[in-house]
Amino acid sequence: MAEELKHLIEQIQKEGVEKATTEADHIISQAKDKAAKIVAKAEAQAQETLKKAETESAAFAERSVKTLEQAARDLLITVGQGCEKVVTETLGKQVDSTLSGNLLEKMITDVVSQGGGGAVISASEADKAALTSLCAGIAKTTGKSVELVSDNEVLSGFKVTFEGQNVSLDYTGEAVADALAAFLRPELARIVSGIAREQISN
């Protein structure tokens, strides 16, 4: 009887250990699966966060480059406009001082002589006084009527209108300076751009 009882106890112990071991293995397996899922989810989130950060970083870099390019263009435009203003003002002063004396007299003589018919010369009040004898001489030499009038809008140089031809030419300092400035603008833009590219490459 004692032997049977002992055998029964051993059998119960064995079954209990086996059951406990099975349950423990099951719990460990579930824990491993859960841990693996948590790690996989964390890795996926980390990859997504990294990808998003890389995308945002690339977009920020692209925006920064475009902003810098626009700033460089704006700077070039500002510098170009500043240079153009300086050149135009200097050019205007130089033209005003040049369109006087012998050059002014030669221009009027050539224009009236080459034009057909009589001419009306418009000049500043100061130049009118100095040009009166010249215009009289041109009229006498060419046989054309030459009328000299003062014009408050003419600061330097002159305007000429040919009678009966509906032709008017503007040789005022302002008109000559504008024409020269228009001629210089592309060259000025080329120079400014060239200097900017040289500075950037250095």
pLDDT of 33 reads: 77
pLDDT of 142 reads: 85
pLDDT of 86 reads: 65
Tokens of 161: 């209108």
- By three-state DSSP, how is residue 76 classified? helix
pLDDT of 78 reads: 66
Domain 95-180 class in CATH:
alpha beta
Tokens of 30: 């579930």
CB count within 10 Å of CB 133 equals 10
DSSP 144-193: --EEEEE-TT-SSEEEEEETTTTEEEEEEHHHHHHHHHHHHHHHHHHHHH
Cβ neighbours for 113, distance < 8 A, ≥ 6 positions apart: 138, 142
**Low pLDDT (below 70) residues in the chain:** 1-2, 4-9, 15-17, 20, 24, 64-65, 67-69, 71-92, 95-97, 188-189, 191-202
The enclosing H or E element of 132 equals: helix 125-142
Q: Say which amino acid occupies 82.
A: G
pLDDT of 141 reads: 87
CA-CA distance, 17 to 22, in Å (whole number)? 8
Question: For residues 185 and 84, is the Cβ–Cβ distance under 8 A?
Answer: yes
pLDDT of 83 reads: 61
Cβ neighbours for 84, distance < 8 A, ≥ 6 positions apart: 181, 185, 188
pLDDT of 201 reads: 59
Q: Say which amino acid occupies 75.
A: L
Question: How far, in Å, are 27, 47, 60, 175, 186 from residue 41 at the CA level?
Answer: 21, 10, 28, 77, 62
CB count within 10 Å of CB 175 equals 15
pLDDT of 159 reads: 92
Question: How far, in Å, are 68, 79, 117 from residue 74 at the CA level?
Answer: 10, 9, 52
CA-CA distance, 2 to 8, in Å (whole number)? 10
Tokens of 55: 């995308």
